[in-house]
Amino acid sequence: MMIEQDDVFIQTEHSEIPTTLVVQKLSIALFVDRRSQQWIARDVDGKFWVVPPVDHPWENRQPFEFTEETQLEPVPGHYKFMLGVPN
């Protein structure tokens, strides 16, 4: 049987045991830190980055360190284009 989901193709052999496959597409998530008013991105590896308001912001990102005052709020994905963040 051939299963197609999110551009992933998997060939399975017929068997007596039912198999379920879940495929999740990982992407970069964008946040704003309300305390510092900075754009923060979480990459596909789970690392957090400050995305500065400069030319080529994604290329100039810096590691983000959480503090007790950190207040991250999710930002809609259409802001990624504005910040040069890959999908």
Q: Would you say residue 6 lies in a domain?
A: no
Number of domains making up the chain: 1
* Domain that includes residue 42, residue range: 26-83
Q: Would you say residue 58 lies in a domain?
A: yes
pTM assigned to the model? 0.68
Which percentage of the chain shows pLDDT scores above 90? 52
Burial class (CB in 10 A: 0-12, 13-18, 19+), 74: exposed
Average pLDDT, the chain: 81
How much is the average pLDDT of 19-39? 82
Q: Would you say residue 35 lies in a domain?
A: yes
Distance between start and end Cα atoms, the chain? 31
The confidence score (pLDDT) of residue 48 equals 96
Has residue 66 got a pLDDT over 60?
yes
How much is the average pLDDT of 2-23? 55
